[in-house]
Amino acid sequence: MQHKHSFVDRIEETLIAILLGLMTVITFANVIARFGFNSNILWALELTVFLFGWLVLLGASYAVKKHSHLGVDAILNMVSPAVARVLGLISVAACLLFAVFMVKGAYDYWAVFADLPPTTGRWFPTGFAEKFRSQSFYEVQDVPMVGFLRFLEDLINYGDEYEKLPKVVPYLVLPVSMALLLFRFIQAGLQIWRGETDRLVASHEVEDEIEEVRALQGEHD
C-alpha cells in the first residue's frame, strides 16, 4: 500500500513540477523575446495564466492529502484526543459540503463548453438540463489550436475548425480539481474516523524549520 501511495504521490508531484517548469520556461522565453529581439510571444501570458490556474487548483487537493494547508490548531491542542477527533470530523463534514458545492458549480460552468448539459438544482445536482445553450465554439483569446486536439472539432464543435484553443480544454481543470478535492476530503475524513489523525491540518513545517535552525545554532555555539 505504501508503494502504491508513493507512486500516486510521484505522479501528482511530477505533474505539479511540470506545470511550474512550463510556466518558468514560457515566461523566461517571453522575456528574452522582448528584451533580446524586441518581439513578443503573443500567447505566452494567457498560457501562463492557465498553467498557474492548473497548478493552484490541482495543488489544493494535493495539499489536503498531505495535510499541508494553513490552519489553526490551537483549540485542538487544548482538548482531549476524543474531542479533537469529533472536532476534526465536524471540520471534514463542512469541507465535504463545500467540495460538493464546488464540484457542481465547476461542472456546470465547464459543461456548456464541452457541449454537455449542466446539472439542475440550485444547491445539489438533481438531474441534467434538457435544454441548454452550448458554448463549445468559444475559444481562448491568444493560445493557438494544437493539432492533436483537432478531434474536438468533430466531437463537440459540429465539424467547425478552431483557430484558437477551445475553452473546454483549459477549463477542464475545474471539474477535475474539484472532484479530486472532494476525494481528498473523503480520504482525510476516513483517516480521522480510523484514528490515524485527529485534524485536517497536521503539517507544522514552520515549527520544524525553526527547530532545525535552533539546533544548528546550538551546534555552532
Burial of 66 (0-12, 13-18, 19+ CB in 10 A): middle
pLDDT at 7: 72
pLDDT at 210: 55
Task: Say if residues 105 and 127 touch (Cβ distance below 8 Å).
Answer: no
pLDDT at 219: 63
DSSP track, the chain:
-HHHHHHHHHHHHHHHHHHHHHHHHHHHHHHHHHHHHS---TTHHHHHHHHHHHHHHHHHHHHHHTT-S----TTTTTS-HHHHHHHHHHHHHHHHHHHHHHHHHHHHHHHGGGT-PPEESSSS--EE-SS----TT-EEEEEEP-GGGTHHHHHHSTTPPPSEEETTTGGGHHHHHHHHHHHHHHHHHHHHHTTS-S-S----HHHHHHHHHHHHHHHH-
Task: Say if residues 141 and 43 touch (Cβ distance below 8 Å).
Answer: no
pLDDT at 36: 83
Q: What is the pLDDT along the chain (221 residues), one digit of tens a residue?
A: 444 556 767 888 899 999 999 999 999 999 998 888 888 889 999 999 999 999 999 999 888 888 777 777 777 778 888 898 898 899 999 999 999 999 999 999 999 999 999 999 988 899 999 999 999 999 999 999 999 999 999 999 999 999 999 999 999 999 999 999 999 999 999 998 988 887 777 655 555 555 666 677 666 65
Determine phi and psi for 164, rounding to 5 degrees: -110, 170
pLDDT at 214: 66
pLDDT at 1: 46
9/19 Cα distance (integer angstroms):
15
Cell (9 digits) for 145: 489550436
Task: Say if residues 104 and 125 touch (Cβ distance below 8 Å).
Answer: yes
Give the pTM: 0.83
pLDDT at 17: 92
